[in-house]
Amino acid sequence: MTKKLTPRLGYLLLVSSSWCLTALPSASYGQEEQPTSLQETYEDWMVQCQTVVVTDIKTKNCELSQELRQKDTNQRVLAIGIVPASGDKETSATIIAPFGLALAKGLSVEVADKELVSGTYKTCLPAGCIVELKLPTEMIKTLALNEKATIVMTASGTDQPMRTNISLKGFLKAWNRLVALSKQ
């Protein structure tokens, strides 16, 4: 029995995994098959798309993401994935934060020392603790016009704020590419 993944779970898997460009071989010769996945890098941001076929219906899921890793251990510290608006859904971000946080305090995103958005933790999985945020168009514009965003979390036990900077180098180019790919 095959289980269907929800789109959000699929996006989480995109954020927490690494990909290769692949194309499935064509069953009929002379007919060119389109790639089933795509990964492009724009400075510090990555655009990833995956085409999934379920009961003859093709769905393309695309996401913009960035992972922060410790230099010495290569352990992931934080990951962020952004999915563009489609249909009646707003643009959203999923942040995978590390363990050891005061979950009740939530998480916020700041740009130029001003809070843009805050959210609460939905759950913790082996990959980390998950926060989902809605990103209005004005917020995307703010991110595109700045050099960094700061993720503010609270350490468990000490209640001390933990600030982690996310580079916005390449964000605008990656965002524009994501939007274009999502419309195809």
pLDDT tens digits, 39-48:
999 999 999 9
Instruction: Could you list the beta-strand ranges (E) of 55-160.
Output: 57-69, 76-83, 92-97, 107-111, 114-119, 121-125, 128-134, 148-154
Query: Cα separation of 3 and 84, whole Å?
Result: 25
User: Where in the sequence is the domain holding 156, given as residue range(s)?
Assistant: 7-26+33-183
What's 153's domain CATH number? 2.60.40.1880
Q: Quick check: is 1 in a domain? A: no
Domain count, the chain: 1
pLDDT of res. 139: 94
pTM: 0.79
| The one-letter amino acid at 116 | L
Q: Quick check: is 171 in a domain? A: yes
Question: What average pLDDT does the segment 33-55 reach?
Answer: 89
Q: Quick check: is 2 in a domain? A: no
Q: Are the C-beta atoms of 94 and 15 separated by less than 8 Å? A: yes
